[in-house]
């Protein structure tokens, strides 16, 4: 579930000078300020039946399942966004995407972490060709989201991968940049999302979606923690203030993460506070 790349990225970030001491956030312990509802907030989920737990206080407005199907019935106020995860889904795609569009989806998400060997794993030029073949035909029926890259900093990773992809896909009809982030601190997160916003502006994309993000500590433990609540209390208002960020989804709507015993975990409560 946690890719090798995520772990390597975590190790690299842990050793970077960007990390700030965790102690700086202790002043916020146990505070969970109520935020206004954000139309940006989404659910990254596997089973649609789990998403109802996120529709209480300030409901999520959209969701995706890393799949071309919704995997069950989402709450009516939650828009389903189909994703063409990677080549393993090419077979069923043309029929599944018609179903998703007929049911009201207005966006299509591209490949999942093509810059990671354990995920969609594609060279940028191949990804551009596949994107043009499978997703671009629906430009006009839906807005098109780029493949979602990691925050890996290597030459063939992250926004560097995306740059090569975009240069090969300038005729693909893309509207939205999708990125993932795993790391150590809110400061690192803001730096990366700011780089993504700058990238989107450079390529005249209308917005950025952060379709997976979390602290490495939570991903490693499969857990919900005070540390992640503190992190979310800092970054969610910031995301909501950024006009260039249109949507985000914390990793993930699942037992042990945003859910605990079928209800909200501590992190889940903060996510929907």
Query: Using CB under 6 A as the criterion, which residues of the chain lie in contact with ligand BGC when the complex forms?
Result: 1, 46, 66, 112, 119, 252
What is the rounded distance in angstroms from the CA atom of residue 80 to the CA atom of residue 22?
36
- Minimum CB separation of residue 1 from ligand BGC in Å reads 5
Residue among 112 and 233 whose Cβ is closer to ligand BGC: 112
Nearest to 215 by CA among 265, 243, 179, 251: 251
3-class secondary structure, 253: strand
Residue among 109 and 166 whose Cβ is closer to ligand BGC: 109
- Minimum CB separation of residue 153 from ligand BGC in Å reads 19
Name the closest residue to ligand BGC (Cβ). 66
- Minimum CB separation of residue 75 from ligand BGC in Å reads 19
- Minimum CB separation of residue 57 from ligand BGC in Å reads 24
Residue among 84 and 197 whose Cβ is closer to ligand BGC: 84
What is the rounded distance in angstroms from the CA atom of residue 84 to the CA atom of residue 32?
36
Residue among 81 and 197 whose Cβ is closer to ligand BGC: 81
1-7 LR contacts (CB < 8 Å, sep 24+): 2/219, 2/220, 3/113, 3/116, 3/117, 3/118, 3/119, 4/116, 4/117, 4/118, 5/113, 5/115, 5/116, 5/117, 5/118, 5/119, 5/150, 5/152, 5/157, 6/116, 6/150, 6/182, 6/216, 6/219
Which secondary structure element, helix H or strand E, spans residue 211, and what is its range? strand 207-215
Residue among 59 and 86 whose Cβ is closer to ligand BGC: 86
- Minimum CB separation of residue 132 from ligand BGC in Å reads 22
- Minimum CB separation of residue 55 from ligand BGC in Å reads 20
What is the rounded distance in angstroms from the CA atom of residue 123 to the CA atom of residue 107?
24
Residue among 58 and 211 whose Cβ is closer to ligand BGC: 211
Cα 197 to its chain centre, rounded Å, is: 14
Residue 147, Cβ density class (10 Å: 0-12 exposed, 13-18 middle, ≥19 buried): buried
- Minimum CB separation of residue 253 from ligand BGC in Å reads 10
Residue among 55 and 71 whose Cβ is closer to ligand BGC: 71
């Amino acid at each position: 579930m946690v890719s090798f790349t995520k772990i390597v990225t975590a190790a690299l970030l842990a050793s970077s000078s960007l990390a700030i001491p965790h102690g700086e956030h202790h002043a916020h312990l146990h505070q969970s300020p109520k935020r206004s509802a954000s139309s940006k907030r989404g659910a990254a989920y596997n089973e649609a039946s789990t998403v109802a737990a996120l529709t209480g206080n300030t409901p999520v407005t959209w969701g995706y399942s890393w799949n071309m199907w919704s995997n069950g019935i989402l709450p009516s106020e939650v828009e389903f966004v189909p994703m063409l995860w990677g080549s393993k889904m090419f077979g069923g795609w043309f029929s599944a995407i018609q179903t998703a569009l007929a049911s009201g989806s207005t966006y299509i998400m591209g490949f999942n972490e093509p810059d990671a060997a354990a995920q969609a794993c594609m060279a940028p030029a191949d990804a551009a060709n596949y994107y043009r073949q499978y997703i671009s035909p629906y430009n006009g029926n839906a807005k098109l989201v780029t493949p979602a890259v990691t925050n890996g900093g290597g030459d063939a990773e992250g926004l560097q991968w995306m740059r090569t992809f975009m240069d090969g896909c300038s005729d693909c009809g893309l509207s939205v940049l999708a990125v993932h982030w795993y790391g150590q601190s809110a400061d690192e997160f803001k730096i990366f999302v700011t780089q993504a916003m700058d990238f989107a502006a450079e390529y005249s994309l209308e917005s950025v979606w952060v379709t997976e993000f979390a602290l490495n500590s939570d991903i490693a433990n499969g857990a919900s923690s005070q540390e992640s609540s503190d992190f979310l209390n800092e970054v969610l208002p910031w995301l909501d203030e950024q006009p260039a960020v249109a949507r985000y989804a914390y990793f993930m709507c699942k037992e042990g993460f945003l859910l605990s015993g079928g209800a909200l975990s501590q992190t889940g409560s903060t996510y929907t506070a």
